Structure 1
């Protein structure tokens, strides 16, 4: 097996702001795994919150390149077990695991969702994200992209006012992501106001380790609460069970499709609502997420839609939210 590594800088269509940062571009690592004339592709983005750089991930892979390339590849699960012995960061694991799954599907000649025993007859549509900005600019972004379902990033001094103003311009469903910016009291106070304004759920309103606050919110909030920063790796699923109504799984954070599928299984056992989110990936990462769609209640896979230029072909998302799956097997990825 041969490894291919390439760094890309993805320009964003608009400055993207959340409660703790703003950016105009997104660095990303594309990993290719080639075997028997087929190449599978995976992706992981840089992330300052988690102190992840592209150079760091590439250095990790280069340090164990021989151990990866010499592995007798058979299944993504066995390959992942091998990778876990190499002490790689979860983001690095994700890029390799996504590539391995794409490669496996291409070697088998089938899309991953079919290999996993699911169909695309029914699946949730993705939201489209509106980042934090002035109210006027947030309204302009909403009008620029008519969409049936929006995720609104909040964490300002005028959060409810923002939603009131946005509601004047669309009847679409809203989801709120405060990215840990609220307190328990703020969340409980804001929830009924936001529910009246057509908000479906609140994502990670409190700091990731504020379990006491989350217990209060879980008991008193009139809106469902979905974990994000509190649910990173597999062991977090059970920990989140008593405190949240659902979990948002990020492939880059948990280490890829292989652990994400185990998290989905555990979440179902616990009765949690299941969502998979993105990290402003290109179509490489988004196409991998799409393979999980039949297993999910919610999805946030608009990353490639936020880019000025993409770097790959794969799944396509139409303006009504419908997903067009590629004919190419695996995750269906081709680099441009």
Structure 2
């Protein structure tokens, strides 16, 4: 098996702002694994919040190149366990590697990922489309640029309720709110009351990640469901989030790929929590991997490639929130 690493700098259509940062480009690493006449593709993007850069991921994968290239016939689960023993300090690199290997494995089997896992895609949920923090005029402009059935609205400003009230005047779409750790306990509880009146479905990670006492308080008193994001990184975090959140937003790059994400989804279901998978402004490479988890999800945020000025791959397509799969096997990805 041959390992190929490619760096990209993904340009966004618009400056993307959340409560803690603004970006115009997104550095990304694409991992390709070649075996026989097949290629599998995986992706992970850099992230300053988690202190991850593309050069760091490349360095970590190069250190185990011999191990990777001497592996070929393992199951994705066995390969992930082996790679994890060397990459447990860099889950982003592990994610890109795991997606690529799983993609390659499925292509060799002549199956799409959801077929490999025996998932039915008949009742797939719709993806939201994210509106980053900006002036109300710019947020409205982004909504009008792409009419959508569900919007995820980034908040964490002094005018959050006023923003949502104004946006609501212009659409009947479902709203989801992501404050990215930008609120306090009372602020969250009070905002939930007002936001519920405005057709908001749930709140995502309103409180800073490690304040579990605050999460518990919000969980008890919020009139809207609360979904964990920054508080749910690794597999063991799902149990910690139980009785502190109503659901979890699993990110492939944070947990180390598709293999652990599937286990986290099952654990969440066992605990009676809502399941969600989110993206990190990946290209269609990463988004196509997420798409095959849709049959197991209550919510999904997989609009990353839609935010790009120019994509680097083909794979799944999304129209009005609905995902359509490629005719190709595996994740269905081809690099452009």
**Structure 2 partner of 1:48:** 48
Q: CA deviation at 1:119?
A: 1.5
TM-score scaled by length of structure 2: 0.99
Q: Distance in 2 between matches of 1:74 and 1:238?
A: 29
Q: Distance in 1 between matches of 2:85 and 2:226?
A: 35
**Structure 2 partner of 1:192:** 193
SS in 2 for 1:99: helix
**Structure 1 partner of 2:277:** 276
**Structure 2 partner of 1:59:** 59
1:59-208 superposed matches below 5 A:
59-88=59-88, 89-208=90-209
SS in 2 for 1:4: strand
Q: Distance in 1 between matches of 2:168 and 2:213?
A: 32
**Structure 2 partner of 1:254:** 255
CA deviations over 1:54-104 (Å, ceiling 9, x no partner):
000001111111011112432111110110121341000000000011101
Say if 1:72 and 1:137 are closer, same or farther in 2 by CA, change over 3 A. closer
**Structure 2 partner of 1:297:** 298
Structure 2 stretches lacking a partner, 5+ long = none
SS in 2 for 1:261: helix
Q: CA deviation at 1:135?
A: 1.1
CA deviations over 1:238-278 (Å, ceiling 9, x no partner):
00001000000000000000000000010010000000000
Question: Contact between 2:277 and 2:301, CA under 8 Å: does it hold in 1?
Answer: yes
Q: Distance in 2 between matches of 1:312 and 1:118?
A: 24
Q: Distance in 1 between matches of 2:186 and 2:245?
A: 16
CA deviations over 1:183-235 (Å, ceiling 9, x no partner):
01100010010000000000000000111111111111000000000000000
CA deviations over 1:134-156 (Å, ceiling 9, x no partner):
11111111111100000000000
**Structure 2 partner of 1:331:** 331
Question: Contact between 2:149 and 2:321, CA under 8 Å: does it hold in 1?
Answer: yes
Q: CA deviation at 1:120?
A: 1.1
CA deviations over 1:261-319 (Å, ceiling 9, x no partner):
0000100100000000000000000000000000000000000000000000100001x
- How many residue pairs were aligned? 335
**Structure 2 partner of 1:285:** 286
TM-score scaled by length of structure 1: 0.99
- Larger deviation: 63-72 or 326-335? 63-72
Structure 1 stretches lacking a partner, 5+ long = none
**Structure 1 partner of 2:16:** 16
Question: Contact between 2:87 and 2:94, CA under 8 Å: does it hold in 1?
Answer: no
- Larger deviation: 251-260 or 75-84? 75-84
